[in-house]
Structure 1
Amino acid sequence: MSLLSWNCRGLGNSHIVNALKEVIRIEKPKIFFLMETKSNRDWMEKIRDRCGFKHGLIVPSMGNSGGLALFWKDEIQVNVIKYSMCNIDAEVNSGDGYGWSHLTGFYGNPDTSRRTESWNLLKYLSGLSQFPWLVIGDFNEIVGLSEKEGGADRPTQQMQNFIDTLNCYGLHDLGFTGPKFTWLYQKVDGSQIRERLDRVVATVEWTIKFPQAKLFHKSSSSSDHNPLVLQLVKEKIIPKHPKIFWFEAMWLKDSSCEEVVTSAWDEGLFMGS
């Protein structure tokens, strides 16, 4: 089972919609979380249908700003607990024997002066469920200068506030495979700023429940953010059984049978018990 998260920066044109459909076709997520849809409810319901999903929760944009959506397949049980312009919080059962978990699709406030509101929101959400907790989305913050390339340095205290919040609620980074940065800003002078703003964090209890979980940063030219694909469980590989050797009685009629069997035995081609 996989989960997709993407700050798509608007779904108002066919190019980005087709890009979303292509990611879903390739990755086959059972749940996906979208941020900055910049779309109303009617349009997002059409997007949901085009992507082959029947269930979901939509937080419409306010004019040309914001907008969230969480969509899921039939076999997934979802109880939505709380939602706002910055989060969709739910309890989820994937139906494959792993039971219930606490899932938060999160969008950190892009306004630096209001970043504390985002961390207070995480504090509030942490108490909404007793199940193991996973938070995925665009936090609009980094934990160190190694997660940034280009532009002015991030204030140390600003990053430390984010780190302290994660530590306070037992959330740790799951790591990733793929491009190092998830966000790109192209400046008018041709220079670029790259940062790792999108991530997945979880409690120890969640990682114990899903020990094989692995996050992938996927590339995309349709948004300034890369999609995140979280594989929760590796696909089971069914071992190939060796072909059964059947001895045909008719072979005994062949005069060379004894010679062939003796030669094969000497070369170790037959396994004894």
Structure 2
Amino acid sequence: MTLSFSAKLNRREGIAGGLALWWTNDVKLSVLTHDKNLTDTVISINGEDKWFGTFIYAPPYEEEKQEFWERLGTLRDDVNAKWCIMGDTNIVASPNEKYGGTPFDYNNAKWFHEFLDRSYLIEIQSKGGTYTWSNQICEENEICEKLDRVISSLEWSFLFPKAISIIEIPVASDHAPIVLLTDGLKKKARKEFKFESRWTLEEECSNIVQEEWTRTEQRNHRGTFRVKLRRTKVKLWKWNREKFGKNKTSANDIANKIKALHNGPMTRENAVKLKDLKAELSKLWESEEMYWQQRGKTVSAEFKTHRKNG
């Protein structure tokens, strides 16, 4: 399923934000109700079973929490409904979800736990980072909390038994993005070798093919077609990764470093490193975006020229 959600983007009220929700063509979604704190929907993916999806930005103020969680509990009368809730709960649910700042407040969490108990909901397992929000202040003033999560009814978890949420690294926000994988983590399939048309523009490609194809095989291979083809394929594959895979590899490496820093102590030195790494990652993403935008414009221009020339 491809379903993206973000809090604090639309329906701005002063410095506060609202909710934004967007989806791909394989998702059929109908909005049932919408306000500044929640968007309640009915969802179906590829014509399969319908289920309720509620996306929330819970109020951060103590005096509004009880009303919000009680109101959220009234959305579903049937405890057997297929229901998934995702977003910013603005509540630390347990002591191990908080680091730094004031001690864990059980009273602050009671409305959330009472809501879970009344509605028979459970939290979906998460992987990645430990916390989803930080005040981005280093050393003794650092505060980290898990505020964002995915919860669901038992009926929904039976529909998606492998579902898991991934806590990604925060780059442009003090909140970490949450990704819900309804089909769980999948093993990467082995990629098939394909000759890329852009290779023909590189002189290195021609040199590799010529070098490997003219090499004399030793032993009993006798320079057979199959051996030459396999050897050339391996060389081209390695060359492609070094030549064109640099940006992607660099971005992944930087992302892993950012995640490691977020999960460690936020010293002043680490804070400086974190800022530099985020800037570097943002620059790589911008470069990648510009590459695809330019590629799209080139294809569009070629198509228009082709139609004009008949």
Asked whether the 8 Å contact 2:80–2:155 carries over to 1, the reply is: no
Unaligned runs of 5+ in 1: 2-29, 40-59, 240-273
Summarize the Cα distance change of 1:196–1:188 in structure 2 as closer, same or farther, 3 Å threshold. closer
* Cα shift at 1:74: 1.5
Supply the AA of the counterpart residue of 2:8.
E
Asked whether the 8 Å contact 2:79–2:119 carries over to 1, the reply is: no
Summarize the Cα distance change of 1:208–1:130 in structure 2 as closer, same or farther, 3 Å threshold. closer
1:48-197 map, 5 Å: 60-95=11-46, 97=48, 99-127=49-77, 131-187=81-137, 191-197=141-147
* Cα shift at 1:165: 1.2
Supply the AA of the counterpart residue of 2:5.
F
1:112-142 deviations in whole A, cap 9, x for unaligned? 2211122122112223997400000000002
Query: In the comparison of the two structures, how many residue pairs are matched?
Result: 190
Unaligned runs of 5+ in 2: 191-310
Summarize the Cα distance change of 1:128–1:72 in structure 2 as closer, same or farther, 3 Å threshold. farther
Supply the AA of the counterpart residue of 1:67.
G
CA distance, structure 2, for counterparts of residue 33 and residue 139 of structure 1: 14
Supply the AA of the counterpart residue of 2:25.
D
Summarize the Cα distance change of 1:227–1:67 in structure 2 as closer, same or farther, 3 Å threshold. same
Summarize the Cα distance change of 1:161–1:129 in structure 2 as closer, same or farther, 3 Å threshold. closer
State the TM-score, normalized to the length of structure 2: 0.57
Pairwise CA RMSD of aligned residues? 2.5
Asked whether the 8 Å contact 2:30–2:43 carries over to 1, the reply is: yes
Supply the AA of the counterpart residue of 1:69.
A
Is 1:36 aligned to 2:8, yes or no?
A: yes
CA distance, structure 1, for counterparts of residue 150 and residue 144 of structure 2: 18
Query: 1:177 aligns to what SS in structure 2?
Result: strand
1:128-164 deviations in whole A, cap 9, x for unaligned? 9974000000000021111100001132222223211
Percent identical pairs in the alignment equals: 27
Supply the AA of the counterpart residue of 1:71.
W
* Cα shift at 1:96: 5.9
Supply the AA of the counterpart residue of 2:19.
L
CA distance, structure 2, for counterparts of residue 128 and residue 76 of structure 1: 24
CA distance, structure 1, for counterparts of residue 23 and residue 102 of structure 2: 39
Query: 1:165 aligns to what SS in structure 2?
Result: helix
CA distance, structure 1, for counterparts of residue 76 and residue 12 of structure 2: 25
Asked whether the 8 Å contact 2:80–2:153 carries over to 1, the reply is: no
Tell me the residue number matched to 1:201: 151
* Cα shift at 1:64: 3.1
Whose strand fraction is larger, Structure 1's or Structure 2's? 1
Supply the AA of the counterpart residue of 1:182.
T
Asked whether the 8 Å contact 1:105–1:136 carries over to 2, the reply is: yes
CA distance, structure 2, for counterparts of residue 195 and residue 62 of structure 1: 25
State the TM-score, normalized to the length of structure 1: 0.64
Asked whether the 8 Å contact 1:102–1:129 carries over to 2, the reply is: no
Supply the AA of the counterpart residue of 2:4.
F
Asked whether the 8 Å contact 1:35–1:66 carries over to 2, the reply is: yes
Query: 1:93 aligns to what SS in structure 2?
Result: strand
1:181-229 deviations in whole A, cap 9, x for unaligned? 0000134886210000000000000000001111110002211100000
Whose helix fraction is larger, Structure 1's or Structure 2's? 2
CA distance, structure 2, for counterparts of residue 106 and residue 161 of structure 1: 15
